[in-house]
Amino acid sequence: MLDILAAVIERPILQAIRTSQAVGLELDESTDVSVLRQLDIHVRYLDQEGKLCCHFLALVPIQDGKADSIVGAVREVVEKKEIPPHLICGLGTDGAAVMTGRINGVAKQLSEIWPGLLCTHCAAHRLALACKDAADKVPYMKTFKEHLQQLHLYFRNSANRSAALSAAAAVLGITDLKVKEVKDTRWLSQHLAIQNLQKNISAVLNVLAEEVEVRKCAAAKGLYSFLATYRFIAALHLQADVLPHLSRLSKIFQKEDLNFLAIKEQVPVTLAIIGHIKDAGDQQAPGSHLSRLNQSLDDPAGLGQFSISVEQERGRRGQPEGGDREHFWRRFRSEVMDPYLNGLIRGLEERFPNLEVFGSFSALGPQAATSPDHEAAHGHLRTLAEHFPSVDASIAVEEWMSFREHVVSGALKDKTQLGIMNDLTSKYEEFGVLYPNLCKLAAIALTVPLSSVNCERDFSTMNRVKTDLRNRLQGEHLEACMRISISGPSVQEFPYEEALKIFFRKPRKIKCSDNSCTMGNTEDLVSDNGPQFASSEFADFATEWAFQHTTSSPHYPRSNGLAESSVKIVKGLMKKAQDGKADFHQSLMIYQRAHKVKVAKIKEKKKQKQQHDKRAKHLRDLKPGEHVRIRDHVTGIWNIQGSVEREVAPRSYQIQTEQGASLRRNQVDLKPQVSSQQCVEQPDGASQVGETTSNLAHQIAQNEPANPDVPSVNDSVKTPLKTLGRPRRNVQPPSRLIESCWTLEAVNGLK
């Protein structure tokens, strides 16, 4: 049922993917709680209105992280989901060497398989790497980040220190904020840590100073010596001015529907802001944190109470440095601020260059249409046509000349480039018919993934679903759970009827009379001969709902053994649940999910049959009209006489008694009627066996010549015969009974 629920969610998504004009894939790999490699595939496509849709596509376990394994897994998923390969135009990865290797990387191999594939490196990862490289190239900024992490660990590992920090914040009237952790893998962590620390730095210094004076804590002394310096406070204010802009850019890159326009528009804005901070120097913009640096150091209610007059912590090592704040500021600018900001600008420019292909998509924007230089737009279209084989360059240029008029003075006037591309790709507009090549380029521009952030979110869902207690969850079941969690609608909006239709299309233990039924009407129903089932009301019910009602042989529970065994098991579960005060339905689910052992059961049944058949025989079939004796199931005496009317089922007959009653009995309760003399002379069952054996010996003696060396059949007949009074068993393969059968038996058995 879990797979069916996931299939209901996945079906419309796959249908929309197959009808999209272009498709983009996002790839990333991670390790789950069971230390198994998992490859996550996220898909981007366009709906009928030309709007971008992003969905989880598949989670594939891979043996290793090699490029060949990843490429094989991606191709297998594409074939399994029946996605047309010619629609795949973009691939987004996290930038790992196995993904972007220029010789044998995943992107290189897939580009050879799918010509025209545009491969990109995740923008969020590129931004994080640019920030990390800029900080690592400045020694003090690298040490600054390490001390932030040590400060977090100092308070996190002690409840007393955290309580002291809260008390100090309350005394100083500062917002009680925790000291956040700094990690390179968490892109916004340093911004949050700087934001909190900048607000309660005075409370942190108070607690560290108290720890040094009262408890003589060496760790607190080291942290206080580093934090209570001019350079640390200046770096803290610098980060408070720069990181909000980088954090805002990171949030944009983490959007689900990110497209190339974000890089085109937002990266230059961030570069300009960082350049302004660097060029401002001593005259920082009013309202910035750096402009209030000296004011913060002199605030008596804040940092002023610590009288910070040391530039760096080196004064603690016997190397005091004199000078005033102007001297400290000039040294900070030359050694920390300018190198750090220059590294940020250089890293952003190197990591986000004006790529030729992405820059060529500007031909679809309003600026290219209104520009008098048409040759630039024509050159962009030719560049795109060279990369994407499905686009004809000459036809695209002709289409652009007509399309330009719509942008300048027609229906697309005063629209942004994103709005223009949405109208081009919408199937409800006529532009797709008029300009098929431009429409294809617009679809590619919208679906090419520029980040793999969606895969990171999928892995977060995987970690929530596959926990330590569910570490055996894997394969298709793990993928189904993730699909329901990521793409599934709310409980109230889920199409349960469609799920039931899929459920009953497959052969189930309850055979459905209609493939499209939603309530599971059966064709055959087997029960015992209880009055609730043998009543005329139940017969009318069977007629009304058009199913065949079959009852087991009366007073012969073995004919309905599966139901009887299930009733026994369910009653035992009820008793155990009641005694242990547990949930009965949970016990029932565990029983339903129990593993089925078939081979061992078959061998055991064969052995049981051999032991049983040593003193068993096959009862001969009874014929209609044959006189029989019926055993009373209460007394066990064969005192009822009657004749066979018909055979209802194998080994089950309808009998007409001498009193006129019509009874149904199993063959073990019926005995062919013989004379009284034969019944007295021979034991039960021996008369028929002896008579049959004597007739057989007489026929063989007449037809075969005498041979003195071979013992005669009559000699063997003289051997005493064993009494065989039980019918032989028929071995059937083991099976699990359907839930509805034991429900009827259990409910009536417990009443």
Average confidence (pLDDT) over 252-278: 87
- What per-residue confidence (pLDDT) applies to 516? 47
- What per-residue confidence (pLDDT) applies to 276? 93
Read off the pLDDT band of 675 (50, 70, 90): low
Average confidence (pLDDT) over 69-76: 95
Please check the confidence at residue 573 and state whether its pLDDT lies above 80.
Answer: yes
Identity of the highest mean pLDDT range in 174-188, 435-449, 559-573, 694-708: 435-449
160-186 confidence digits (pLDDT tens): 888 888 888 888 777 767 888 887 767
Please check the confidence at residue 474 and state whether its pLDDT lies above 90.
Answer: no
Q: Among 117, 115, 136, 140, which residue's Cα sits nearest to residue 238?
A: 140
- C-alpha 665/C-alpha 654 separation (Å) is 7
β-strands 88-93, 23-31 pairing: parallel
- What per-residue confidence (pLDDT) applies to 504? 80
- pLDDT above 90 covers a percentage of the chain that reads 32
Please check the confidence at residue 319 and state whether its pLDDT lies above 80.
Answer: no
Task: Output the average pLDDT for the chain.
Answer: 82
13-48 confidence digits (pLDDT tens): 999 999 999 999 999 999 999 999 999 999 999 999
Average confidence (pLDDT) over 535-559: 84
- What per-residue confidence (pLDDT) applies to 439? 94
Please check the confidence at residue 663 and state whether its pLDDT lies above 80.
Answer: yes
- What per-residue confidence (pLDDT) applies to 111? 92
Please check the confidence at residue 744 and state whether its pLDDT lies above 90.
Answer: no
Identity of the highest mean pLDDT range in 352-356, 371-375, 391-395: 391-395
Least confident of 25-39, 90-104, 111-125, 313-327: 313-327
Amino acid in the structure at residue 153: L
At 575, list the tokens. 């008793």
Percentages helix, strand, coil for the chain, rounded to the nearest 5? 60, 10, 30
Read off the pLDDT band of 359 (50, 70, 90): confident
* Contact status, residue 360 vs residue 382, Cβ threshold 8 Å: no
Please check the confidence at residue 500 and state whether its pLDDT lies above 70.
Answer: yes
**Contacts of residue 284, Cβ cutoff 8 Å, sequence gap at least 6:** 241, 277, 290, 291
Strands (DSSP E) contained in 532-651 are 548-551, 616-617, 627-630, 640-649
Strand, helix or coil for residue 90: strand
Read off the pLDDT band of 337 (50, 70, 90): very high
Please check the confidence at residue 463 and state whether its pLDDT lies above 90.
Answer: yes
- C-alpha 464/C-alpha 409 separation (Å) is 53
- pLDDT above 70 covers a percentage of the chain that reads 84
DSSP 337: I
CATH class of 2-122+452-496: alpha beta
Please check the confidence at residue 658 and state whether its pLDDT lies above 80.
Answer: yes
Average confidence (pLDDT) over 441-446: 92
Amino acid in the structure at residue 529: N
- What per-residue confidence (pLDDT) applies to 726? 56
Strand, helix or coil for residue 284: coil
- What per-residue confidence (pLDDT) applies to 751? 42
- What per-residue confidence (pLDDT) applies to 187? 66
Strand, helix or coil for residue 615: coil
- What per-residue confidence (pLDDT) applies to 708? 40
**Contacts of residue 246, Cβ cutoff 8 Å, sequence gap at least 6:** 127, 131, 191, 270, 344
- C-alpha 44/C-alpha 306 separation (Å) is 55
Least confident of 146-160, 264-278, 302-316, 332-346: 302-316
For the sheet containing 640-649, what is the strand order?
Answer: 662-666, 652-657, 640-649, 627-630, 670-672
- What per-residue confidence (pLDDT) applies to 556? 82
- C-alpha 402/C-alpha 194 separation (Å) is 53
- C-alpha 261/C-alpha 359 separation (Å) is 10
Would you kindly state where each structural domain of the chain is located, as residue ranges? 2-122+452-496, 127-351, 356-442, 524-596+736-750
Identity of the highest mean pLDDT range in 32-46, 200-214, 579-593: 32-46
109-148 confidence digits (pLDDT tens): 999 999 889 998 888 888 888 998 999 999 999 999 899 9
- C-alpha 396/C-alpha 389 separation (Å) is 12
- What per-residue confidence (pLDDT) applies to 2? 87
Average confidence (pLDDT) over 404-418: 88
> What end-to-end distance do the CA atoms of the chain give, in Å?
32
- What per-residue confidence (pLDDT) applies to 721? 42
Average confidence (pLDDT) over 234-251: 92
Please check the confidence at residue 355 and state whether its pLDDT lies above 50.
Answer: yes
- Residue holding tokens 């030729």? 356
pLDDT greater at residue 729 or residue 555: 555
Q: Among 452, 459, 476, which residue's Cα sits nearest to residue 44?
A: 452
Long-range Cβ pairs for the range 612-616 (8 Å, 24+): 612/726, 612/728, 612/729, 613/728, 613/729, 615/722, 615/723, 615/724, 615/725, 615/726, 616/724, 616/726, 616/727, 616/728, 616/729
Strands (DSSP E) contained in 626-739 are 627-630, 640-649, 652-657, 662-666, 670-672, 726-727
683-721 confidence digits (pLDDT tens): 444 444 444 444 434 443 444 444 444 344 344 344 444
- What per-residue confidence (pLDDT) applies to 514? 52
Please check the confidence at residue 460 and state whether its pLDDT lies above 50.
Answer: yes
- C-alpha 228/C-alpha 216 separation (Å) is 17
Q: Where would I find the H helices in 338-495?
A: 338-351, 356-360, 366-370, 374-387, 393-409, 417-425, 431-434, 436-447, 453-465, 475-487
Please check the confidence at residue 679 and state whether its pLDDT lies above 80.
Answer: no
Identity of the highest mean pLDDT range in 101-105, 278-282, 355-359, 485-489: 485-489
pTM of the model: 0.65
- What per-residue confidence (pLDDT) applies to 321? 55
Identity of the highest mean pLDDT range in 133-147, 185-199, 604-618, 711-725: 133-147
Average confidence (pLDDT) over 492-511: 78
**Contacts of residue 608, Cβ cutoff 8 Å, sequence gap at least 6:** 729
